[in-house]
Amino acid sequence: MSSLRSRPSPLAGQATAAAPRHVAVIMDGNGRWARARGKPIMAGHRAGAEAVRRCVKGAIENGVRYLTLYAFSSENWHRAAEEVSDLTSLLRFYLRHKVVELHEQKVRLDFIGDLSRFDRGLREEMERARALTAHNTRLTLILALSYGARNDVARAARDMALAAAKGEIDPASINETAFRAFLQTSPFPDPDLIVRTSGERRLSNFLLWESAYAELAFLDVMWPDFTEADFAALMADFAGRERRYGKRLAPDGAL
């Protein structure tokens, strides 16, 4: 899917999906954006951080209640040490200096991922941000940091097995709902829409369990160039989709 800015509006009378409650974004293209401009990679990450602010604004303006951003994957630890250091420093700066802005917008901030891999000071910044914004209700912004979906599924299976071994749960009662309660994402609804920028068309170990019935959108725009207009176009495109969850629709749109 190319940029949605020129996509036509949904046809009148077509069965459409409700506005997405939860949007998840794979923010891709910072490095290529920087290289195309002859700039260091860190310049792309800084520009990408500004795109996050525009994305949050777009989510609020369009009534989205949950926004998950894939900010740092478990695989990102394998990047050059200098880039990892720059990324964590940028995260520390925004947690220390920009969370008040989110709080003023009534945005609640939360995190998923293996946060134990970050240093103690950064984890403390995360906890302060989480505590400050805990009672906000306009939008829940979830940052996926040191996150990998396969790792979370494996950890959830391990924790469930330990609970069963201790007699805390009956193995015969294990089903999808019971398993989901052990995932880090259990406090949040599954995403309705997953977006990836930069033209890549894969999930890259992001919300694999939770994305079972999510709609997917792939944009050619690099993440640092993402705007509120792109977010609005995604909402218009989503509104024209039929969400059947494996069920067949009759010609008139009825199940």
Q: Residue 73 annotated as binding?
A: yes
The residue ranges of DSSP E strands in the chain, in sequence order, are: 22-26, 66-73, 107-112, 139-147, 193-196, 215-218
Q: Residue 167 annotated as binding?
A: no
Q: Residue 159 annotated as binding?
A: no
| 175 annotated active-site | no
Amino acid found at 15: A
Q: Residue 29 annotated as binding?
A: yes
Look up tokens 């989205």; give the residue: 64
Is residue 217 within 8 A of residue 192, CB to CB? The reply is no
Q: Is 86 helix (H, G, I), strand (E, B) or coil?
A: helix
Q: Residue 74 annotated as binding?
A: yes
| 28 annotated active-site | yes
CA distance 116 to 123: 8
Q: Residue 33 annotated as binding?
A: yes
Q: Residue 75 annotated as binding?
A: yes
CA distance 179 to 156: 7
Catalytic residue chosen out of the listed positions 62, 76, 136, 151 = 76
CA distance 217 to 237: 9
Q: Residue 205 annotated as binding?
A: no
Catalytic residue chosen out of the listed positions 28, 152, 230, 237 = 28
Q: Residue 127 annotated as binding?
A: no
Annotated binding site for substrate: 29-33, 45, 73-75, 77, 79, 196, 202-204
As annotated, the active-site residues are: 28, 76
Annotated binding site: 28-33, 45, 73-75, 77, 79, 196, 202-204, 215
Annotated binding site for Mg(2+): 28, 215
